[in-house]
Every structure is written in structure tokens, then in C-alpha cells.
Structure 1
Amino acid sequence: MSDPLVVSLADPRAAEPALTGGKAATLARLRTADFPVPDGFVVTTAAYRAHADAAGASDRLAALERGEERAASALRDRLAGTPLPERVLGSIRDRLDDGAYAVRSSATAEDLAEASFAGQHDTELGVDAADVPDAVARCLGSLFTDRAVAYRERNGVPHRGVAMAVVVQRMVEPDTSGILFTADPVTGRRDVAVVDAGPGRGERQVSGRETADTARIDRETGEVLDYRVGSGRAARVLDDDTLRTLADLGDRIEAELGGPQDVEWAIRDGDVSVLQSRPVTSLFPVPDPRPADDALHVYYSFGHRQGMTAAMPPLSLGFWRDLTNELGRQYGLPGRLGAVAGGRLYLDLTPYVARPWLADRIVSNLRIIDEPTAAALADLLAERGGDLPDPATGPRAWLRAAGSAGRFARTLVAFVAGFPGALAARNPEDAPDDLLARYEEEVAESVAAVRSHDSARQRVRAARDAVFESVDWLLEPFYGRFLAGVAAGWALRRLVPERADDVAELAGGFEGDVTARMGLALGDVADAARDHPAVADALRDGATLDDLSGVPGGDAFRAAFADFLDEYGFRGPGEIDPSRPRYRDDPSLLLGVVAARLDAGERGAHRDRFAARQADAAAARDRLEAAAHPLLRPVVRRLCRLYRHYVGLREHPKFALSKLLAEFRTQVLAAGDELVSRGVLADREDAWLLTLSELDAALADGATPGDLPARRRDHERFAATDAPRVVTSDGEVPTARVEPTEDASDLTGTGVSPGVVEGVVRVVTDPRNADLRPGEVLVAPYTDPGWTPLFLNAGALVTEVGGRLTHGSLVAREYGIPAVVAVDGATRRLRTGDRVRVDGANGVVERIE
């Protein structure tokens, strides 16, 4: 049976989005559920296709897909200007009476959870019955407005995959109309409804000639939190009772449709009509699982703390959630630590920030590593601290607290047990190689144990367990030494306060830093290319490793590159996410960096720059000694040695952990290969879309996983979303107030590596596709060890995420690169080719005309 050309809103088929489009399908669903939706009918997508065929739209659609100029307007004009087919006209006229109608477009790619298409297609109000067919044709043509075409292209929606329907309803000529948001679209709070309202149809508000009245309502209590009267009016257009009626209506619509809604409404003679409802797509998801106590909880982004803010697929996300929860239990931390939102892991800070004395310490510590988070958290606590759950009291609570404190104390004692020995060590210079050797031995044993298992299922389990069990042997030999280094720095700043700035210089050019070693080794690879002009020319032209076979000197260069990959190929951008490729999987980033280095300086320039940093560190040590009291100079000399050789160990645990994560990646992909061979998966990479338990079940008995295409779409949608640093259990995303500079065009952040550099901006969101030229200012959302090769070419660094002790800041100081981090929206506010001045001491990025 062919699809109908026109259906009533009361017809069950009207609730099918493929037939009636997103807007009409939602209205039909609400009308069936007895919501006050005006009566009407839908000109279906079958009618659209008949009309498009009659208008000869196919050739114009092909031109649009080819990107031809003015193809969209030609297609739109052809659809709007061609009379509707007689059978469509007849079906419409049979349903019309005298009076006015509202004619609204309803595309199939509309009112979706991931893309609302709000305002992209046409609506015509107060249309006389005789003019409805022409209005329908214009709405059909609005599928190809310039704004709708651009919106589809931006959201990856193919033009040929969409169709248009049109909903025609009796016109409600309102006394008052407006929009109801069932969640606050500005703060994200799900417990607050927001109403915008104006007199009549609200045309003056829509056109921007007047502002609407705006009210915020507490959804739980019905209290009107605030009401702002719009311009052009002396009095409110809505009273409190009407606001509560609208909020209650929104509650019921949200419950029916399953998520926060943007509801268009109209009121005439006291009766409310629902004209449209669509998802609010701008809200960041609330963390899951929800708190069991129904109180306000505060969550901190694990990705921002780790310097990797990209979304992770389900398997990686579940892996880290389980690991953080296990660590929380092991170390006596109260409650469930990990929660998931928007493809990211969040850590529940509530048990700590609910105690004012502890909250102050947490905010203070966050200021050192992530100033924007500290500021946002401080503002949130000042405004809503009273909504946090009261710390548990009573005998049971005290017993639980004592048990947690005992487990935490045992762990802390184990970690700091090496502190006295580290302070007294005869040769702290040996610490980097000693610690690395211990890690290499532990990693080798763990990897061998993983690979000893017979089945892919067992190897995946063993690889996961190897990471979970690594924390103790990673931290116990490290923590005492690192703490001794921090203590040495603290002591130096107090013994020689007038030279406190020199303390940070002490760690520069530290040959024991595993990340610095990687950068130097890659510089050596570039020198290997310099030794063979034919190789250098090929790399400048974008040659791959395979392309170098047969090029004079190609084998020698490939051997040097292979040696680098043997040592560092397990690393890569975003490496805390096991699903992300490592250098050995995709060496293109490294080859690009090598090619760029060929035009930057002479052979060995990277080693010379490193030696200069070592000289700066030695000079800083000499200044500290000279400034100290003569009796304290031996102490200062000793503290300088401790600080230099222990603080630089910071990257060692992550270096070793990354090897285990790479092994886990290897085993998951091998399991993916097995499931492909058994017909369970279509692609090995689909394994990352499963949970660990689903992967285990699929390997055990071939169990069919869930809806993988839907999971892939969700992951792609989350990947395009900016994750907040802090989010609450009711959805609020607090943002810190930023103090403006004198020049409003300047960007401000946290200065983490001193120096001033002028240069051309290169915005890089994916380092695998970077083309950073020597001296350019690297502007990135974040950096982690996998980005380190780019630092060889960067003249300065600007990131959206980070603090004084995050990876990018440490490496920038190591390389002597001015750096400003925590610059909100840097990758959007700056563009490749802009010229800027980066002041790494004062945290300012100045645009230069």
C-alpha cells in the first residue's frame, strides 16, 4: 500500500516521522496523549516526493550535492513556484473550511535529539484557506533555504536523505504566546523551567524589535524565581499562576517525550495550546548514574584533569569508570567516584566539597593545576553550597569514616614510605633511570602474563586486570621521590624567597624526563633525514614510509624511524583513551613533524636548544646558592639537586601506564578481529562501541551486541560537543567570571611558561592532521604526551585546558616555549593565519593587526 498524501493529526500514521516529519509526528503524539494541540492535518513526505518529481527537482538536487553555486536557491524556487499535483491539491482542499490556518514545515531531519533544525524551515501564520496550497508549496521549498542547507552540511545530514512534510492547523490567534524551556538553556539546570513570553503572536520579539518577558520557575516547588519584563511594556504579560500552569504542562510533555523540551505555546481566552515541541539540543547530559540521595552533587571532568577532553567510546569510558571506582574503594574514598556524561568520565567531588574546610583546600589545589575549574567551583559553592548533602553524622557514619580513613592512611603510608630515603639519597641523579628500569621490568612481566593466555577473551580480561593492578607498583616507588622534590622546591622558595622564580628554572633541560627524551629522539630522526637529501625532499612532498623504499638513504632513515617506534611507538595523542591510534598505528604525525623540522635550523639544533635549557638551569642554581646565607648554601645546593632530579619524574608513571594501555588496545583489537571472523562484528573497531561485559559475552558465546549504529552516532555527537569542566547532578554548568583585559580583543588564561613570542597561529584540533610550521603558535584544545612532537616546531603554545602542572605546561617550560593555558574557546576565537603575541608570564594572548 502506498503512503497517503495527507493524514489527520489524529491518524496513528501521523506519529511516524518518516511520513510526517519530526514536528508533525511530535504534535500527533502529543495530541494522542490528550495534550492541547490544535486540530489539523499533515501533507506528507509522499506528497513532497510527488511534488518534487513534478517540479523536476532531481537535476537541481544533483547540482546541490556537487556544490554548485546557487543550486539551493534554484531548487527552492522550483519547488515553491511549481503548482502542487492535482491529487495533492484535492486532498488538501477536501480538509479545508473557511478561516485562517497556520502552515508549518516539518522535515524528516528535524526536532532530532542531536540536531533540532530550529528556525531553519518556513512557517506561515494566518493563512486564508484559499491560499493554503501555495503556502504548502513554499514550505516544501523551504527544505532548501540557504540556512537549512548549511545546517545539514554542518551536522552531516545528506540532502538526498531528507524530505519535507507540512502540518496545517487551525490558526490560534493568541492573546499571549511564547516559548517554554523545561530546563534552563543558559545554566543547564534541569530543575528550573524558563518561559519567554510576549503579547499576541510575538512577532515583535521574533523580529528583534522588542525583548520578551523572561521568567524562571522552580519545577519542584512552583516558585517563580525571577521575572524580567521585556522592552516596550510596563507590566507583565503572565501572572504567577499561568507560569506554574505552563511549567506543569512542560513537566508532562517532557515525561511523555523523554527529555528536556523547547515548547512553543499560545494562550487565547485563558486556554493554552501547544504549537510545537522539540528537544533542547544544547544541553550537556547530566552525569549517570544519578545520585541515590536526591541531593545536589558536583562532578569534575577527568579529561580536563588529564589534559584530554575528547569523548571516549563506550568500552574506553567503562574501562576508566570501573578503574576510578575500584581505586576509590581501594583507597577508602566515600561513595561511587565515577559517573559518565556526554562520552566523558566525571569524578564526584561531593563528599569533599560538602565540607567547607575541605572544599577550600580542594579549590586552592585546583588553582595550581586548573584555574578555570577552581574559579567555577568556587562560584558554584558560593551560590549553591547550601544545596549539597549534609555530611553524614552518627555512630555508623563515624565507623564508615574511620574505616575509609584507615584504608586511605595505609595507602598513604605505603606511598610516602620512600620519602625519608629519597631525601637522604646519596645520588638523586640515579632516580630517573632507576625508576624507569623498575617500571620496564614490571611492564614486561605484565605483558608476558597477558600474552600467555590461550583465548582472546582471557587476554582482554588479563590486559584489563594488568592496568588495574599496576597502580601500586607505579606509585609506591615514585611517590616518595616526587614528594621529596616538591618539598625541596617548597623549602627553596622559603630559604631564598627573593629568587623564588629561579626554582622553576631548575627542572629545565632535565635529561631524565621521559617526555623530553622522546622529543630529543624525534629530533635525531629529523637529523637522520637531513643526512640524506633525497629522503628530505621526499618527506617535504608528503612521502610515507613505504614511499621511501628505493629512495637513496631511505633504508637508513626507515631504520632510524623504526628504532624510534620501538622505543616510543606505544604513545599517541589522547593516549589515555585505548581506542585512539598510537604512533606505531599511524606514524603520519611524526613524519609531518620531521618534514617541518627540515626547514628549521641546522643539524643538532634541538640538542643545542636542550643544552641551553640545561645551562639556564645551572645558572638558576648558581643564583639560588649565591643569594642564600653562606651557612645555608650547602643546604640550598642539596635541595637544588633533589628538586631537579625528583620533580622531573612526574611523567614516569604515565609513561609506563601508557604501555599497558597500548597492550589493552592490542588485545581488544585482536578480539575485534576474532569477532569479525565469526560474523559478530562488521569491523574490528566496532569493539570499542561495546561495553567490556558485552565484549566478554560476544567472545564467550557470540552474543549479538546492541544497536551499534546508534552508539556510533551518539559517540560522533558527543565528540562534537564541548565538555564542561564542572557539571552538577541537576545539569548546571557553572562558568567562572573572567576578568577582561584593557583590550577586549585580547584572550586571557593562565601563564605557565614565561616569555613573549609573536607568531602566526596554527589551530590544531587533531594532531594527526597537523601541519605546524617552525615558529608558529600552536593553538589546541589540550595537549598530552602524544602531542609532544609538535612542540619541536612550536614557537608558543595556547590551549583551552590546563594548569601550571599539566603536561603541556611542563613540556613548554622544558622546551623554553612561552605558553598560556586555560584560554576559554581559544580554538574558536583564533583562526589559522592570525598573528598574535603570546605573553607566557602574564597569561595574555594579544591579537596583532
Structure 2
Amino acid sequence: MKTALDFSEIHAGMLAEVGGKAANLGELTRAGLPVPPGWVLTTEAYRQVALDLETSGEDLAARARRHLLQAPVPDDVREEILKAYAALGDDVPVAVRSSATAEDLPFASFAGQQDTFLNVVGGAAVVDAVRRCWASLWTDRAVAYRESNGIDHAAVRLAVVVQAMVDARVAGVMFTANPVTGRRHEAVIDASPGLGEAVVSGAVNPDRFLVFDGRILERHAGDKRLVIRSLPGGGTERVETAYDGLCLTDDEVLRLAELGNRVEKHYGSPQDTEWALDDDGRLWLTQARPITTLYPLPERPRPGLRVYFSVNVAQGVMGPLTPMGQAAFRVISAGGAGLAGHAPADPLDGAAFMTSSGERMWIDLTTAVRSRNGRAILPRALTLGEARAVPVMERLFEDPRLSLADSSRRPFLRGLARFIRNVRLPSRVLTALTSPRRALALTVRLGEELDRRLRVPASATPAQRLDHAERVLVRTFPLIISVMPLAITGYGLFALASKLSGVPTNEMGDVLRSVPHNPTTEMDLELWRLATRVEPEPFKELTVAELVRRYQEERLPPVAQREITAFLATYGHRGVAEIDLGVPRWSEEPAHILGVLANYLRMDGDPDLAPAAQFARGEREARAAIAHVAARARLKGRWRAAVVRFGLGRTRRYAGLRELPKFYLVKTLAAIRRSLLVVGEHLVARGVLDAAGDVFFLDLRETRAALSSSADLRELVARRRETYERERRRRHVPRVLLSDGTEPESLAQPAADGALTGTPASAGTVTGVARVVLDPIGAHLEPGEILVCPSTDPGWTPLFLTAGGLVMEMGGAMSHGSVVAREYGIPAVVGVADATHRITSGQEITVDGAAGTVTLPS
């Protein structure tokens, strides 16, 4: 088998044989782009040398490197290396680069994870560089990178690229999209004299150029104090130098950008390239790979620049949604749009403002951003739930590309009037003001009506179950949103009390301590009470996996078995990332709940710190806070004090209802999930799917079509699972995204070093040990530790019972975590950029929930 292939013999489909780097160089060569000549030693050669390599166990990286550096190179492989090298010319200087099969991939670039050897001269030196490239597949950094991206070590092979060196006058890197802001087609060029290694390795401050649409937007001269040059006979040297001015002319910059456009057009996606400019002024491409860090652009693009807001970020779910979960959101959005008279022709298409990207849901806010009404409403609405988005939106209001559209207010007012009428806003506000008993009874009736709608006869056919799912999803939002006028009344009276008393709302947080009628708080308290009733021994002695097994086999002690079953009968529809109906519920996978119980039962705490005692203390502090605000109001007039007491009394009755629509929505999704699992079982029986849960990797249309077709959908499901798992590893999701790829938040001025500021969410100051938690499942917080996390949904809140404070990257004053933190009386700051990266577990930090600051150790 031939193990050395010229670039002209390689194409993009040969990843397994030549690795990512060589596949790209072959593809570029065949496309007629200016690539220096070269060849690749295929993965077959590596396989022969690494045949006996054990890819598991301790000290893996060191053992693998030692094996590859000591194993002999097979004679036939050595001969092919020498023959291919000689074909380039007599002792031609070459670059020898690693090209792994897990490298330069659409989801992981692996840039810099394996080694490169420059200006290698002579056959023996090339053979040695090949051996060192093989060993570099097993550097500690490469092993860690593969593990973080979920790539099996045993499945990775290494090819080696050997490419003629360019005697570069200037070299560097070029991104065909801005990797910081995300803006597509904005080329970012870093350049420095000499070999490009100076730029790639970060050894020099290069010149930087930004180019968009044939215009140079920015020129920035770096100091360029180091030049890496080739040495005669092989190797390189680093030379300290002083270089005044820019190392590229405007014409060269524009030529580079045009070359980048050609590369991007060929691949159909933004590229990270390395390039060189020789003494004759000729441009060369020495490498190209996808830019893997860019967030994907939303689907269903509409003309002009669009503004998208992340539903996932707003809901505290940073991970992706399954295809069926996305389909459900579209149908729900259709029902919501119908309240304002804008229902789509087909509910399965979703509302016009709803789209998806990166397996997450987005709302198109362009119309609101470009209207006077929207600019008045958006900042106020976002302040409540996603405060960090407010300055982002305000900057967008100033973007000339998003200037106010010349349109009538009448459509907005007509839609608003329809919405107010359909949710019965006036009558429900009146009920909330005049009769709390009737108002709260209404929420109970809505819950009973929802339960009635969710019932599906056991005899229902799969097609009837789909009909029911679509019907319920369309009608769910109008039903559950009708609770919100009550909560809005409570918060409206809260704002009125602030105005009448002169006490700022951020100083009235104690009024919202321990509010009743919040289903999430009630769930958390019930879980704690459950821990006081069950037999503790199994939970202190057994692993969570064993607890789950015994519970499912009904072998836990009697009280524990009965009480946990009762808890899950009420709250088992909940879970982490519960807005996705494709995600299992606690009733299906009770490990999280049993793990929380085990943690509670292993604690030896002060009874006064028990959640029930804290909740009662919170009620007392709330009454005292109301008295304080009323006293301040009395100074301005007796009637003001009476209104404040009345208003804040209503606030406490209704504030907790803010969580009720979400509770009802999740109950709806859980019921539909159960029904769709039956449909999935039917498709498994017909040989269309492998497992019932695979149905969640289809959408509603595809599922309906599968009922009348024998087409095998297992390959489609496997591809979508792979995409879903890849998106689960995505570390960054923007809260606002433009249709040109720009993340507006990235354009903001960074905060001063060490300054962590966010939105005040729950007053109070606490100093304690930070605990960074990225996933609540299996997480454990010692009493008093400060929870630092990306965001929260109700699946996180059992951790709040032992937390001494809260720091969240996402959210606003009225987001879920903020509300629960206030109710539990723990200081909280939300909307703290990069908190989970800038704070480490074990650090002692101070959280000031009134000032919105987090102080780190100096």
C-alpha cells in the first residue's frame, strides 16, 4: 500500500487516510489555490508503528510518546519518505507538520495540539521529524483536548505533511470572519516579518488589519520585536529586531483578503488560514481549517440585518434542544403569535419571529429594535429577566443599519389590543386587586383545565397522539399566559409602592422574601421536608446508582419508597433543562433527586438554618420590610402608607405566581413526552427506530410521515444525536446575535481587571468559599458555600437550600435564580460576565447582592 501521496492526489474525503490538515491542503491544491508543493505520509504508516500501543490507563501520554520515539520505522515506510522527499528536489527545506484524523474538523480545529518542525533539510532529518510528529499526537495538551471534545484516543491516527518551505518576507494568519465579534466576511489579518511561526506561536505582537467588503477598516501596527528566520542547512533562528511601520502595503492586505474570500467560497464556511508572502510578492497558502468557535447563523434568514435574542439564555438552558424540543417551541410560538392576531398558516412552522441556530431557539427582535414602541418596551422587559442584554440593545438602537423604520403604530396597537383582550388582562387585574381569593382560585381552575386537556386515552393511536400533541401545544401558551396578569399586578403594585414611598425597588428586596404560591419554592421545601421523614441509613451508606436501582425495584425502606413516589407524582414532570421535551424527567431518571436527598441527609446542620426555618424567618422579615416602606410613605401622607400596605400585601400574594406558567408549561411538555414515547415504541416495533427515545430526534412532521412509511430513520437519528452531542460541548452561547454573525456584546468595552460586576438580584453581603457548578446533576454544596453557575432553571434550585450566596453569568432581577435567591434570603448577583471562568472553586469571594459586585481575593 502506498503510504506517501502528493497533494494533488488528495481530496477532502480522505480524512481517515491523510488527516485534517493534509485533506485541506489537497483540497486547496486541487482547487487551483496557491499552495506550496508537498506530500503526506498517510495514517497507515502511523498504524504500523503504533500497532502495539495501549491507549488507556495511567500515564497514557508519556507511555505513548516513549513508544513512538523508540519504535523502529519500518523499512518500506522509510524508503517511501526518502523517495517522496527527493521528488521535491535536492535537499529542499521543508516544513514537517502533524495531520491527525481528529484535526481541522468542523467542530474542533485542534490548532496547535500537535507539533510542527520548520526548515527541515535532508532525508534523515525528515525521517526524524516524522517520528517526532507521531509522538506529538500524545502530548499532554493533545490528550486533554481530545478528552474535552469527547474523541476516543484509540480512534485517532496521525498522518504527516511534508511541504516545501516558503522563503517568507512576511507571513501570518488570516481569519475570513472576525473570530472575536463573529462578523462574517470581515477578514482579520495578523502579519509579521519572517516565518509565520512568530505569529502562530504568539511570540510577537503582529500588525493587525481588518478588511470588509474591499475596504480596510482598521490598521494597527504591532511592535514586531522578534523575527523567526530559516537558517542555511536547516533549523530556524529567533532574532530580536526593531521594525517601524506596517509590514504589508494596502494592496497586499486587499490581495490577502481576496485570497481569503476564494478559500471561504470554496469551502462554503469561514476559514482560519496561514499564509506567506515571498520576496517576489507572491502569496502562498500554507494551511486552512474551519473556524470552529463561531456561533452558527440562524435559520430562515430574512432580508436585511436581523437581531436575534436567545430563548435558551433567557430560560437558563445553555445546552441544545432536541429536534422535537425545537419543534414544540415552534408550535407553542404559533399559539403565542395567535394571541396578537399573527398566527402562522401552519402551526408547525412556528411564529415568524421564531428561528433556530446551534440547536437552540432564537427570537427575531428586529421589528421591535427598529420601532419606537419596541425601543420603549424592550429595555424595560429585559431589565426584569436578562439585564445584561439591555446595554447591548441600547447600543443597537444607535446602529445606523438598524435605524427606525418608517411605519405606522397602528399594527402594534391592534396586536396589543388583541393580546390584552385574549389574556383578559383588564378583568384579571381587577380580580387581583379586589379579590385575592378569587384570583388564586382562578389559578387552580386553570391547572385543572390543563390536566383535563393533557389526558390521552390509552387506546389512542399513534396518529391520534400526534394530533393531540399538536393541539395541546398550540393551545398551551394562551392558557398558561393568562396567569401572568395576576403576577404583573403584584409587581406593578411593588413599583407603585416604591414610587409612593420614595424607597428604591432595589432596597425593597426583603418584601419579596418567602412569598407564597411559588411552585418551585414549594417543591424545594417539600424535598427538604422529605429528607426529614425518610429512613436515613440507605442514603448515607449507598451510592446514588444503588439508590436508584432499589427505588425502581421498590426495595427502599417503606417510608422512603412511599414518600419519594408521592413527591415524584407531584413534581416528577420537572428536570434539568426541562423546557426541552426531549429531556428525561425526574420521574424517569430519579438519580438527581435521590442524590440531593443523600446530600441533605449527610449534613449535620444547625436547625435554625433549615429551609423551613429560613422561610419562616423570611416571612417575618418581609412583614418588617413592608412596615418600613409604609412608614417611609407615611412621611409623605397618611393615604400613601395605606396604599403601600395594600399594594405590597397584594405583591406578596401574587409574586410567586411568576413561576406558575413555567410550571404548567413543563407539565404540558412532560405529558406530551410520555405520549410521544408511546409513538416511539410503535416506530421501534415497525423497525424505523432503534429505541423509543429516538423519536425526540425527529420533528413532528417527520414523526407523522414515519407512521405511514417504512423508511429507516436510524441513520438520520444517529447524525442528529452526533450534532446534539457536539453542541452540548459548546462553551459559549451569545445572548444576542446579528444575522451577519456579530455578537454585539463582544463589542462592549471590557471591565477593569478583576472587577466582577453584574445586576443586583438579592440584597445582602456574604463572604464564603466559591463552588463553580456547570451541571447540577450530582453537584454538592456544603452549607454556606457560594454557588457560581452559568444560569439556573428549577432543576438547580435544590442547591439553593444550602447555598450561602449565588453568582450567575446570566439573568436579570426577575430571572428564575434571582427570584428564588430572594425568597431564600441569600445574597445574589446575576449577569456577571464569564463568572464561571473568572472564579474558581475554593476561592473565598464576597458577594454584595445590593451593589451587584463580586470581590475576588487580591
TM-score normalised by length of structure 1: 0.90
Residue 388 of structure 1 pairs with residue 396 of structure 2 = no
Matched with 2:27 is 29
| Match of residue 733, structure 1, among 737, 743, 747 | 743
Matched with 1:88 is 80
- C-alpha distance in 1 between matches for 2:106 and 2:817: 35
| Match of residue 5, structure 1, among 3, 6, 31 | 3
2:335·2:475 contact (CA, 8 Å) conserved in 1? no
Residue 480 of structure 1 pairs with residue 485 of structure 2 = yes
Matched with 1:275 is 286
Residue 565 of structure 1 pairs with residue 575 of structure 2 = no
1:41·1:168 contact (CA, 8 Å) conserved in 2? yes
| Match of residue 593, structure 1, among 589, 596, 600 | 596
Matched with 2:445 is 438
Matched with 1:822 is 831
Q: What amino acid maps onto 2:54 in structure 1?
A: A
Matched with 1:468 is 474
Q: 1:723, CA displacement in angstroms?
A: 0.6
Q: What amino acid maps onto 2:442 in structure 1?
A: L
Matched with 2:528 is 523
Number of matched pairs: 821
| Match of residue 110, structure 2, among 117, 125, 140 | 117
Instruction: Encode CA deviations 1:263-321: one digit per residue, 9 max, x unaligned.
Output: 11122212222111100111111111222x2x211111111222222211222123213
Matched with 2:813 is 804
Matched with 1:260 is 270
Matched with 1:714 is 723
| Match of residue 96, structure 2, among 100, 103, 121 | 103
User: Taking structure 1 as reference, are residues 273 and 521 closer, same or farther at Cα in structure 2, changes over 3 Å only?
Assistant: same
Q: 1:752, CA displacement in angstroms?
A: 0.6
- C-alpha distance in 2 between matches for 1:558 and 1:187: 53
User: Taking structure 1 as reference, are residues 326 and 29 closer, same or farther at Cα in structure 2, changes over 3 Å only?
Assistant: farther
1:178·1:198 contact (CA, 8 Å) conserved in 2? yes
Matched with 2:230 is none
1:96·1:129 contact (CA, 8 Å) conserved in 2? no
Q: 1:608, CA displacement in angstroms?
A: 2.2
User: Taking structure 1 as reference, are residues 435 and 460 closer, same or farther at Cα in structure 2, changes over 3 Å only?
Assistant: same
CA RMSD of aligned residues (A): 2.8
Instruction: Encode CA deviations 1:778-800: one digit per residue, 9 max, x unaligned.
Output: 22211112222222222211211
- C-alpha distance in 1 between matches for 2:9 and 2:684: 44
Matched with 1:328 is 337
Matched with 1:215 is 209
Q: What amino acid maps onto 1:487 in structure 2?
A: G
User: Taking structure 1 as reference, are residues 528 and 792 closer, same or farther at Cα in structure 2, changes over 3 Å only?
Assistant: same
| Match of residue 130, structure 2, among 130, 136, 146 | 136
Q: What amino acid maps onto 2:795 in structure 1?
A: G
Of 245-254 and 328-337, deviating more is 328-337
User: Taking structure 1 as reference, are residues 165 and 545 closer, same or farther at Cα in structure 2, changes over 3 Å only?
Assistant: closer
Q: 1:63, CA displacement in angstroms?
A: 5.7
Instruction: Encode CA deviations 1:28-80: one digit per residue, 9 max, x unaligned.
Output: 11211211122222222222223x1xxxx444x31655544721331342258
- C-alpha distance in 2 between matches for 1:187 and 1:342: 17
Q: What amino acid maps onto 1:97 in structure 2?
A: G
Q: 1:538, CA displacement in angstroms?
A: 4.1
- C-alpha distance in 1 between matches for 2:544 and 2:570: 26
- C-alpha distance in 1 between matches for 2:564 and 2:594: 9
User: Taking structure 1 as reference, are residues 270 and 127 closer, same or farther at Cα in structure 2, changes over 3 Å only?
Assistant: same
Matched with 1:339 is 355
| Match of residue 410, structure 1, among 411, 418, 430 | 418
2:55·2:153 contact (CA, 8 Å) conserved in 1? no
User: Taking structure 1 as reference, are residues 93 and 251 closer, same or farther at Cα in structure 2, changes over 3 Å only?
Assistant: closer
Matched with 2:119 is 126
SS of alignment partner, residue 810 of structure 2? coil
Of 437-446 and 493-502, deviating more is 493-502
User: Taking structure 1 as reference, are residues 541 and 774 closer, same or farther at Cα in structure 2, changes over 3 Å only?
Assistant: farther
Residue 663 of structure 1 pairs with residue 671 of structure 2 = yes
Residue 251 of structure 1 pairs with residue 251 of structure 2 = no
Unaligned runs of 5+ in 1: none
Q: What amino acid maps onto 1:284 in structure 2?
A: Y
2:428·2:439 contact (CA, 8 Å) conserved in 1? no
Q: 1:226, CA displacement in angstroms?
A: 0.8
Matched with 2:697 is 689
| Match of residue 511, structure 1, among 509, 512, 516 | 516
2:683·2:689 contact (CA, 8 Å) conserved in 1? yes
- C-alpha distance in 2 between matches for 1:169 and 1:711: 37
TM-score normalised by length of structure 2: 0.89
1:332·1:408 contact (CA, 8 Å) conserved in 2? no
Q: 1:525, CA displacement in angstroms?
A: 0.4
Residue 774 of structure 1 pairs with residue 783 of structure 2 = yes
Q: What amino acid maps onto 1:110 in structure 2?
A: E
Structure 1 residues 151-170: aligned runs within 5 Å: 151-170=145-164
Q: 1:565, CA displacement in angstroms?
A: 1.2
User: Taking structure 1 as reference, are residues 746 and 430 closer, same or farther at Cα in structure 2, changes over 3 Å only?
Assistant: farther
Of 717-726 and 40-49, deviating more is 40-49
Q: 1:204, CA displacement in angstroms?
A: 3.8
- C-alpha distance in 2 between matches for 1:579 and 1:552: 29
Residue 72 of structure 1 pairs with residue 64 of structure 2 = yes
Structure 1 residues 731-770: aligned runs within 5 Å: 731-735=741-745, 737=748, 740=751, 744-745=753-754, 747-770=756-779
Q: What amino acid maps onto 2:161 in structure 1?
A: V
Q: What amino acid maps onto 1:703 in structure 2?
A: A
User: Taking structure 1 as reference, are residues 283 and 534 closer, same or farther at Cα in structure 2, changes over 3 Å only?
Assistant: closer
Instruction: Encode CA deviations 1:140-166: one digit per residue, 9 max, x unaligned.
Output: 333223332222222222222122222
Q: What amino acid maps onto 2:652 in structure 1?
A: R
Matched with 1:622 is 627
Unaligned runs of 5+ in 2: 224-241, 344-350
SS of alignment partner, residue 846 of structure 2? strand
Q: 1:240, CA displacement in angstroms?
A: 1.9
- C-alpha distance in 1 between matches for 2:61 and 2:172: 37
1:316·1:688 contact (CA, 8 Å) conserved in 2? yes
1:596·1:774 contact (CA, 8 Å) conserved in 2? no
- C-alpha distance in 2 between matches for 1:13 and 1:353: 46
SS of alignment partner, residue 583 of structure 2? coil
SS of alignment partner, residue 418 of structure 1? helix
SS of alignment partner, residue 371 of structure 1? coil
| Match of residue 285, structure 1, among 292, 296, 312 | 296
- C-alpha distance in 2 between matches for 1:543 and 1:69: 34
2:65·2:135 contact (CA, 8 Å) conserved in 1? no
1:332·1:405 contact (CA, 8 Å) conserved in 2? no
Instruction: Encode CA deviations 1:220-254: one digit per residue, 9 max, x unaligned.
Output: 3x010011122142122222222222212211211
Q: Sequence identity of aligned pairs in percent?
A: 36
Q: 1:731, CA displacement in angstroms?
A: 0.6
1:422·1:484 contact (CA, 8 Å) conserved in 2? no
2:39·2:161 contact (CA, 8 Å) conserved in 1? yes
Matched with 1:784 is 793
User: Taking structure 1 as reference, are residues 8 and 797 closer, same or farther at Cα in structure 2, changes over 3 Å only?
Assistant: same
- C-alpha distance in 2 between matches for 1:523 and 1:730: 48
- C-alpha distance in 1 between matches for 2:800 and 2:650: 27
Of 716-725 and 835-844, deviating more is 835-844
